C-alpha cells in the first residue's frame, strides 16, 4: 500500500532555535496515529507540515505519491483534502450551522446535501440540536467539538488534531475514542497529537514518539 504521507530527511526550523527533524516517516491511509511527546517536542510543527500550512526547509514531503508544492492549483486542491483542528479553534461569529456550512459552500455543496452533511457531523460529535446556537457563546469543550464537526463535514482524506481532548469532559472524550476508529474504517487517516499517556493507551493507535524535535521511534508501519 502506498503511504498517504511520506517524509524523508525533513528539517523545519522554528523560532527559539528549534528544529524539527524527521529522517523517515510513512503514514498510511485509513489508519489512526498518535503523535506523542511532551510540550515542545515538535508535534504541532509536524502537524503544520502535514496540513501544508508550512513547508520543510530541507528534505522531501510527499502526499498521495506526489511531492508537496508550495503554491498553485495543486496545493489548493490538496489542502481541501486535509483538515487540521487546532487545540484552541477559531470559530466564525454567527451560528454553529453557519460555521459548518462555510467550507461546504466553498466546495459548491448547498441545499439538502449541505443540510444532511451538517446534521450528520453534529450528531457524530454529540451536538444534536446545536444548529442555531451562537458559536461565540459556547463553552471551550463545545467549541472544540464544533471545530471537529466543521472538519468532519468536509469528509477529508486526512484529519489532523492538535490535543483534541484538552477542553473536553470525560464523557465526550470517550465519544471521540469511539468516533476515530469509525473514521479510519471509512478510509480517513486520523493523526492526533497528544501528551496524554492515558488517551494514547486507550486509543490503541500507532504511535509516533517525538522528543526534542526528533522522531524517536515506537512506530511500525
Domain ranges of the chain: 89-154
User: Can you give the pLDDT at residue 221?
Assistant: 40
The DSSP code for 29 is T
Strands (E), 14-102: 19-27, 32-36, 58-63, 66-67, 82-85
Cβ 118 vs Cβ 100: under 8 Å:
yes
Query: How confident is residue 25, by pLDDT bands cut at 50, 70 and 90?
Result: very high
The reported pTM is 0.90
Q: Are 89 and 147 in contact (CB under 8 A)?
A: yes
Task: Quickly list H helices, 70-169.
Answer: 73-79, 96-106, 111-124, 140-152
Helix (H, G, I), strand (E, B), or coil: what is residue 161? strand
Give the neighbor-by-neighbor strand order of the sheet with 214-217: 66-67, 58-63, 5-13, 19-27, 214-217, 206-211, 32-36, 189-194, 158-162, 82-85
- Segment 98-132, tens digit of pLDDT: 999 999 998 999 999 999 999 999 999 889 999 99
Write the pLDDT tens digit of every residue in 74-95.
888 899 999 999 888 889 989 9
Given this model, what pLDDT does residue 178 score? Answer: 80
Amino acid at each position: 500500500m502506498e503511504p498517504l504521507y511520506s517524509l524523508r530527511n525533513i528539517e523545519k526550523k522554528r523560532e527559539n532555535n528549534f528544529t524539527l527533524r524527521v529522517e523517515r516517516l510513512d503514514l498510511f491511509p485509513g489508519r489512526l496515529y498518535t503523535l506523542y511527546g511532551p510540550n515542545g517536542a515538535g508535534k504541532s510543527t509536524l502537524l503544520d507540515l502535514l496540513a501544508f500550512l508550512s513547508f520543510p526547509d530541507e528534505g522531501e514531503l510527499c502526499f498521495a505519491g506526489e511531492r508537496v508544492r508550495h503554491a498553485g492549483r495543486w496545493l489548493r486542491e490538496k489542502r481541501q483534502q486535509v483538515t487540521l483542528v487546532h487545540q484552541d479553534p477559531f470559530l466564525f461569529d454567527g451560528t454553529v450551522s453557519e460555521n459548518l456550512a462555510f467550507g461546504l459552500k466553498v466546495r459548491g455543496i448547498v441545499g439538502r446535501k449541505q443540510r444532511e452533511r451538517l446534521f450528520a457531523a453534529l450528531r457524530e460529535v454529540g451536538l444534536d440540536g446545536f444548529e442555531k446556537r451562537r458559536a461565540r457563546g459556547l463553552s471551550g469543550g463545545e467549541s472544540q467539538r464544533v471545530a471537529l464537526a466543521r472538519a468532519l463535514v468536509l469528509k477529508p482524506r486526512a484529519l489532523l488534531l492538535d490535543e483534541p481532548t484538552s477542553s473536553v469532559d470525560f464523557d465526550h472524550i470517550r465519544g471521540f475514542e469511539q468516533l476515530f476508529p469509525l473514521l479510519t474504517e471509512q478510509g480517513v487517516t486520523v493523526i492526533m497529537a497528544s501528551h496524554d499517556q492515558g488517551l494514547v493507551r486507550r486509543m490503541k493507535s500507532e504511535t509516533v514518539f517525538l522528543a526534542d524535535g526528533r522522531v524517536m521511534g515506537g512506530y511500525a508501519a
